[in-house]
Amino acid sequence: MVCLAVVLAIVPFVLRRDARTIHLVRTADQNVLLVTVDTLRADALRIDGGRADTPALDRLARSGIRFDFAHAHAVVTLPSHASILTGLYPFQHEIRDNSGFRLPSKARSLATVMKAAGFARGAFVGAFPLDSRFGLDRDFDVYDERYAQAGLPSAFAIPERRAELVVDAAMRWIDGQRTRWFAWLHLYDPHAPYQAPEPFAGRYANDPYAGEVAYVDASLAPLFEKLRSAARPTFVIVTGDHGEALGDHGELTHGLFAYEATLRVPFVISQVTPGQPEEAGAALSSLPVRHVDIFPTMLDAAAISAPADLPGRSLLPDIERGTNGPEAADRPSYFEAMSTMLNRGWAPLRGIIVNREKYIELPTPEVYDLRADPREESNLSDRRPERLRALSAHLRDLGAAAEIERRDEAADVRARLQALGYVSGTAPPKVRYTEDDDPKRLISLDQAIARGVELYEQGRVREAIQLYRDVIGKRPGMPFAYLQLASLFWESGDVRSATETLQNAISAGARTNEVQARLGTYLAETGEAKKALTLLEPAAAASTPDVDALNALGIAYARADQPDKALLTFVRILTLDRDNGMAVENIGSVHLSRGHLTAAQAAFEKALGINPQSARAHAGLGVVQRKSGNVPAALASWTRAVELDPRDYDSLFNLATELVRQGRREEARLYLERFVATAPPALYGADIARLKALLQQAVSPTPAHGSGRRW
C-alpha cells in the first residue's frame, strides 16, 4: 500500500537562465495535464528549429521550460506510454511491444496515485495501440477511446481519431469538472502515413510529416486557451512518446533502431496560471531528462509524495537550483527496441545513456559520444573498449530481464495493429543471436517490408507478392513474411498458393501458432476441413492452447458440419479471453447456420458491444435482420459493414441483391459494380457471374448469400 502525503503549502520554485526567471508553484490546488504526441521528433517544433509552424506549443514553452536532452525508453507506442504513466522502465512494467502484453494488475500508474489524492481523472486517446484492453485505463474515471474507423481504404489503413476530436472530447470533460483534475491526451496524428487535413496538407505538400505536426499544434491551441481562463492553475507536461527516423540510418519510420532520431523527444514543462502575465523568451535546459521522470515530477508539482521505488526523479529540484549538476548528469537512461526480436526473430536491442555517452547492445555493439557526435555517425566501440566495458556494466547493473513473457494475441488485435504498420507476429526466441541477426545488417529487409505495404495499398499486389517472395528467400526463417505473403495470395483469390506458402513456412522451420492456425483456417475455408482438424486438434489439446488455434479449430468443426463441437470450442476461447470479439461473432454464425435467429442476434449484438466497429458483427446481424423480415435494418447493417471493411464481399453481395429486390436499382448499381470489380474470382466466381447478369439483363436476384459473412 502506498502512503501519499498531500502537502497543502504553496512552495514557489524558479529557474534562472539568461536573465529569465521561471515562476512555478508547488501546490495541491492545481490541475495536472499530460499531453503525449505520437511520433514527435525532438526537432519537430518551430521553437526547436522544426519546419512546422507550432505557435501554440511554442507559446507554452516560452512560458515554461523546455529540455533539449530528453529521451524515451522504447520506440513504439504502448511500451513508451506504459513507462510514462507508471514511471517504470519497460522491463519493470513488462510491456515490451504493442501486442502480446498487458499492464500487470500490480502496476501502479499516475491515475492510481491521483485517485488516492482526490483528483478527477480523464484519458483521451487517439489510436488503437493504447486501447483499454492493454490495461492503461486502470483508475481513470473516463478512458475515451472512440476511434473513427469508417471508410478505410484498405486493411493497412490505420483507424485513428483526429487530434481536434481528441481535444474536443477532453475539453468537454474538463468543462464538467468541479474539482481538481488530471487529464492525459494522446494525439496520434504525426504517425505514418502522414495525411494532415486541409489547409495543412496543401501548405506542407512537400513535407507531410511537418503538416501533421502543425495540425496537432492548431488542435491544441483551444485547450491551452481554456487553461488560461480556468479557475485554478494547471501544471502541464508535453512530450512525444518517441521520434520518427524519416530516413535516418536507413530507417523509414520507427521501431527498428533506437538512434536519437527515434529515441530523443521534445519535453516541455509549464504552469498555466490564470491572470498571470506570460514571460517573454524561453528557458532552455540541457538537463538529462527521461520519461520515467514524468511520474515523480507531476506528483511533486501537485504536492504529493512520490513512491520511493521509482527509477525516475522529480525535475523540480533541478529547476529550483537552475543548474545541470553532476548528480543529474549521472542519471542513466535505459532504452530498448524489442519489436523486431519478438515479431521477426532479429536480435534484441537494449542500451543505456550515461553522461552523454550512449551504448547500444547488439551482436555488433555501438558506442557514441553524443556531445561530439549527436548524429551517431562514428561508432567508438572498437576505439574505446574501456568505455564499451564500462557502459555495458552500467546496463547490466540495471537488471533488465533477458526473458520476455509474451501472451498469445487475438487475431483481431493483430489485424488492427497491422493496420498502423505495426507487424505483430511471433518469432521463436533464439539461444544466441549472431551478427547475421543484427538489425543493422537487415535494414534492406525492413525497407522491403515497408515497400510491400505501400505496393499493397496502391493495388500493386503482384509486385508486393514478388517482393515478399524475395524477403523469404533472404530470410527463410521469418514467420511473419510467410503470413504476409499468404494473406496477399488469399486476398487476390489464389487460395492454393496461400496454403502452399504456409506449408512452406512449416517446412522451413518457421512454424508458429499463428502460422499453424492460419493454415488450418485456409484449409477449412477451401473444403478441406478434415485436414484442418488433423492439423489443429493436437495444438488445441494443450492445457493452455493458443487462442488462434482454437478459433481455427472451431471454424474447421463448423465447416465439417460439427456445430456442437464448434460452439464448445468458441466458448472455450471466452474462458481464456472473455473479450474476444471474434469468438463471439463465430458463435453467432454457428447459431445462424442452425436457424437459431434469437441466439445469433444476441451473439452479434454482444460482439458489437465488445467492438462497435466490427464489420463482421454488423454483417451477421444484417443476415439475422433480413431473415426476421426487417429489411431496412438489414440494409443499414450491411451498409455499415462495407463502410468499415470494403472487402466484406458477402455484405457487398447481400446489399446489392437486396436493393435490386426492393426495386432500388440505381442505388444497387454502385454495389453491384464494386462486387464484380473487386471480389476474388477464386472464391466468388459464381456470384460474380450472377451479378454481371444482373447488371446486363436486370433479372431478379437470388436470395442473400449464405450466412452473410465469411468466418
Task: Give, to the nearest 10 degrees, the angle between helix 631-644 and helix 649-661.
Answer: 140
Between strands 333-337 and 349-354, the pairing is antiparallel
Question: What are residue 359's DSSP bridge partners?
Answer: 352, 367
Model confidence band, residue 334 (pLDDT cutoffs 50, 70, 90):
very high
pLDDT of residue 325 exceeding 70, the answer is: no
In order, the DSSP letters of 232-299 are S-EEEEEEESS---TTGGG-SSSSS--SHHHHEE-EEEEEE-TTPPPPSS-EEE---EEGGGHHHHHH
Model confidence band, residue 705 (pLDDT cutoffs 50, 70, 90):
very low
Q: What is the pLDDT of residue 42?
A: 97
The percent of residues in the chain predicted with pLDDT above 70, rounded, is: 88
Q: What is the pLDDT of residue 156?
A: 35
Listed range (15-29, 434-448, 583-597, 634-648) with the worst mean pLDDT: 15-29
Q: What is the pLDDT of residue 343?
A: 87
Q: What is the pLDDT of residues 393-449, one digit of tens each?
A: 999 999 887 678 776 666 666 565 555 555 555 677 788 999 999 999 999 998 998
Mean pLDDT within 35-59: 97
pLDDT of residue 390 exceeding 90, the answer is: yes
Mean pLDDT within 84-95: 96
Q: What is the pLDDT of residue 517?
A: 86
Q: Mean of the per-residue pLDDT values for the chain?
A: 88
Alpha carbon 518 to chain centroid distance? Answer: 23
Is the peptide bond between 199 and the residue preceding it cis, with omega within 30 degrees of 0?
A: yes
Mean pLDDT within 58-86: 96
Alpha helix locations (H) across 277-423?
294-301, 316-321, 326-329, 339-344, 385-397, 411-418
Q: What is the pLDDT of residue 299?
A: 97
Cα separation, 424 vs 405, in Å, equals: 15
Q: What is the pLDDT of residues 186-233, one digit of tens each?
A: 999 999 989 999 999 999 999 999 999 999 999 999 999 999 999 999
Q: What is the pLDDT of residue 549?
A: 83
Mean pLDDT within 134-155: 71
Q: What is the pLDDT of residue 147?
A: 67
Secondary structure class of 434 (helix, strand, coil): coil
Mean pLDDT within 149-165: 57
- Cell 504456409 belongs to 502
Q: What is the pLDDT of residue 18?
A: 42
Q: What is the pLDDT of residue 499?
A: 95
Q: What is the pLDDT of residue 697?
A: 66
Model confidence band, residue 13 (pLDDT cutoffs 50, 70, 90):
very low
pLDDT of residue 14 exceeding 50, the answer is: no
Model confidence band, residue 709 (pLDDT cutoffs 50, 70, 90):
very low
CB 347 within 8 Å of CB 439 = yes
Dihedral of CA 453/454/455/457: which sign? positive
Cα angle 337-269-167, degrees, rounded to a multiple of 5 = 80
What global pTM score does this model have?
A: 0.81
Cell of 87: 514511471
Query: Which one of 335-344, 532-541, 575-584 scores highest in mean pLDDT?
Result: 335-344
pLDDT of residue 666 exceeding 60, the answer is: yes
